[in-house]
Chain A
Amino acid sequence: MKKFALVLVVWLSLVVSASAITSPNERLADPVLEARAVELSKKLRCVVCQNESVEESHADLAYDIRTIVRLQIKAGSTDEQVLNFLRARYGDYILLDPPFVWRTVILWTIPGIVFWIAAYLAIPLLKRKRRAKKKRLI
């Protein structure tokens, strides 16, 4: 699972980058902090919208949450702390990136499970020829 987490981290930069920010005042001055804020906002669900992240949504509440994220990052909170702060008030629902806990084990391992089932079914298909070949030699 650590591998998945690593993969997750690297892929954050490739999340579809749509943004609803319409005022330069919203952005933090420090580009590193701002980048963190944007990444975090992409992982937070706009709870009053239909399936958008806080970063993409034009809703008022999304604006409020973006503001809080930036305020907290500026004040020195870690990404974990900001996420937990919002999680404590909105529940896991606000996380677009489901946490890896016992409840979500199947969710995170389904690719592996399905692939191995498919492989288990497919491998016999690829082995037969050798047996047939053996027959010919005799």
Chain B
Amino acid sequence: MIVEIGHFAFILALAAAIIQAVSGLMPRDSLAASAIAARASMALLGLIMLAFAGLEYAYITSDFSVLNVIMNSHSLKPLVYKIAGVWGNHEGSMLLWILMLTVFGALIATLPTIDDPLLRRRALGVQGLLATGFIAFSLFTSNPFLRTDMPPLDGNSLNPVLQDLGLAFHPPTLYLGYVGFSSVFSLAAAALLTGQVDNNWARIVKPFVALAWLSLSAGIAMGSKWAYYELGWGGWWFWDPVENASLLPWLTGTALLHSLLVLEARGALKRWTILLAVVSFSLSLLGTFLVRSGVLSSVHAFAVDPLRGTFILMLLSVYCGGAFSLYALRAPMLKTIRLFTPVSRESGIVVNNMILVTMAATVLTGTLYPLLMDALGLAQLSVGAPYYNATVVMMAIPLFILMGAGPMLPWKRPGRWLFVRPLGLCAVIAIAATLISGIKGALPMVGFGTAVWVMASSLSILWVARKNITLKTLAMSLGHFGLGLAVIGMMGTMLWKTEDIRVLNPGDTYTVGRYDLRFDGVRDVFGPNYGASEATITLGAETLHPQKRWYPVSESETTESAIRLTALDDLYIVLGERDLKFGPDAWVIRTTIHPFVSTLWAGFSLVVLSGLCMLGYSFKRKRAA
């Protein structure tokens, strides 16, 4: 019954979305229309929440009359994974996507910082249009509420590799990011329609950008962390097409939040900022398309269905095509301001944007190139890590150098070259640190040096402003410092790891790096829905237990590595195969030490924290004249 209510609410939601879209975009200026749009958005939110609750109910009670629950759940699954199972599949995750969309719609409707009622109304209209398309898509091609007359005794279970807390909550965080950019898109389209893009618009849109950006950052970081801890061999980024699809809006989103600084402070870069706003969400939509259409092969891809892909492509054409057409028509009418000086904060941000956009264009090209070559019948290509390392990663170096210098550059005037001294000091610190560290090789040295440079620069900004640190300063410093820290972590995992593979008999001791370990054999253990071979490795008073698990329902095997995390490094132990030639209970154990991994996660956390700071200071009403 509850599921049916949810389904019905979902259908009503389509009507609410249409009402919101029409009342929002109706050409005539009308107070009534504004009120209707706002109320529709609240009704829409309520209805979608009801629908989502209905689906969750089906999962939590293991209602196997619902097809979606059969395909993606099982009565033996722990409760938290049943809850998360709702979004572990195409249909359910689409509903989550729509839920986020309606949350942001409601935010646009209610946020008091939006002081232009026409802007609000138009933005609601665009948001309603987005909701209409996606609810229709879901209802007609991917309805999670479909039932069966003959419920089976149990479900088909979720992929065991996905039964992990971090991974379970990675989609909602990521979607908050992807879909968060929809509000930015709507506000940008609305601004193009009203013809007003200025400092005020920048102020209005900032909290939305902050929320979307920090969520996306957190989501990507969670995904990397999961890959590192779950996949068993210490990699945390694979340039997989769907990973790239999440990186793309992050890159343009970062460019956007910097460009907004200029728009708010100087009223400049109007056309560019609006374009970034539209592009960021378009890239989110592109990611949605890539994951759900089957056009690219990826670990992340949901079940392939060209019909769904076609529907999404049509939505993309309407939304992105429409927005870009609107841009082509209206953007030239925006009055431009050009008051830049070659060496200033503004120009620093312009160069920052240039590099970020080049990085994004490169990632986009690399991801889509195999598709292009296949379509033209020219070749079947692969574009992997080697390409991205040679291009995108290299571009990060000048970006980082700029990152250290940029925040110290003054706005407007070139005259005051006061920043040269502190920057000089940071450069000296960076060079000294690189030399002291004993790192060899041109590129590792440059990588390390620029990371220290950025960190030193961020700290010196905090020091200079120590008597009065604002959230704004904190946001900037934390963000940059965090990235520098993360780079140190990245270099640790890539360059300085120690690896040891050997066959051991129970009782054998061995030493890897600074750790003295003892192998104490392998035994069989059982979990709630799996059986496993579990090894015991003793380190001093502690034991570590890498496993090889077998999930009978889905007939899949996974490797659970044992990880011991310390501030200095990660000790990573993987259970290999049995080696009977060596002994009756001999097994292969692979031990790896990854230095500075904690700094990678710490760095990412600081970046997310900086986003929160930005969110904190961006809820400003119109500043006093």
Contacts and interface: CB of A to CB of B under 8 A. Distances in A.
Q: Do chains A and B touch in the complex (CB under 8 A)?
A: yes
A132 B413 CA distance: 13
A110 B361 contact: yes
A51 B365 contact: no
A129 B340 contact: yes
Contact of B340 (A7, A95, A128): A128
B112 interface: no
B588 A114 contact: no
A11 B393 contact: yes
**Most chain A beta-carbon neighbours within 10 Å: one of B238, B493, B497, B574:** B238
Contacts of A114: 357-358, 361-362
A59 interface: no
A52 B237 CA distance: 11
A24 B390 contact: no
Nearest to A52: B238
Contact of B381 (A12, A53, A93, A110): A93
Interface in A8-47: 8, 10-24, 27, 42-43, 45
Interface in A82-138: 91-98, 103-104, 106-107, 110-111, 114-115, 118-119, 122, 124-126, 128-129, 132
Nearest to A97: B386
A35 B317 CA distance: 48
Task: Give the size category of B's interface with A.
Answer: 35 or more
B355 to A, nearest CB: 8
Contacts of A115: 354-355, 358
A125 B339 CA distance: 7
A16 B494 contact: yes
**Most chain A beta-carbon neighbours within 10 Å: one of B381, B588, B590:** B381
A130 B297 CA distance: 52
Contact of B385 (A42, A94, A126, A129): A42
Interface residues of A, number: 53
Given A51-B297, A115-B354, A98 B387 contact: yes
A23 B501 contact: yes
Contacts of B385: 15-16, 42, 53, 96
Interface string B568-604: 0000001011010000000010100000000000000
Contacts of A50: 240, 297-299, 301
A19 B499 contact: yes
A22 B379 contact: no
B304 interface: no
Interface in B329-376: 338-342, 347, 350-351, 353-355, 357-358, 361-362, 365-366, 369, 373
Contact of A8 (B240, B355, B357, B386): B386
A17 B297 contact: no
B530 interface: no
A130 to B, nearest CB: 9
Contacts of B444: 14
B211 to A, nearest CB: 27
B171 interface: no
B381 A125 contact: no
Given A42-B385, A51-B298, A122 B339 contact: no
B386 A15 contact: yes
A122 to B, nearest CB: 5
Contacts of A122: 350-351, 354
B92 interface: no
B545 to A, nearest CB: 17
B465 interface: no
Contact of B387 (A21, A103, A107): A107
A118 B357 contact: yes
B297 A56 contact: no
Contacts of A95: 381-382
A132 B357 CA distance: 29
A118 B287 CA distance: 24
B184 to A, nearest CB: 21
Nearest to B503: A24
Contacts of A129: 339-342
B314 interface: no
A128 B338 contact: yes
A67 to B, nearest CB: 15
Interface stretch (B186-194, B228-236, B427-435): B228-236
Interface of A: 4, 7-8, 10-24, 27, 42-43, 45, 50-53, 56, 58, 91-98, 103-104, 106-107, 110-111, 114-115, 118-119, 122, 124-126, 128-129, 132
27 contacts: A11-B394, A14-B393, A14-B443, A16-B385, A18-B234, A18-B235, A20-B233, A21-B590, A23-B503, A24-B501, A24-B588, A43-B384, A92-B381, A95-B381, A96-B387, A98-B381, A103-B378, A104-B381, A106-B365, A107-B365, A107-B369, A107-B387, A110-B362, A111-B361, A111-B395, A126-B341, A128-B339
Interface of B: 231-241, 268, 297-299, 301, 338-342, 347, 350-351, 353-355, 357-358, 361-362, 365-366, 369, 373, 378-387, 389-391, 393-395, 441-444, 447, 491, 493-495, 497, 499, 501-503, 559, 574, 576-577, 579, 588, 590
Which 10 A-B pairs give the minimum distances between C-beta atoms?
Answer: A96-B384, A18-B235, A22-B576, A97-B386, A118-B354, A114-B361, A18-B233, A128-B338, A93-B380, A50-B299
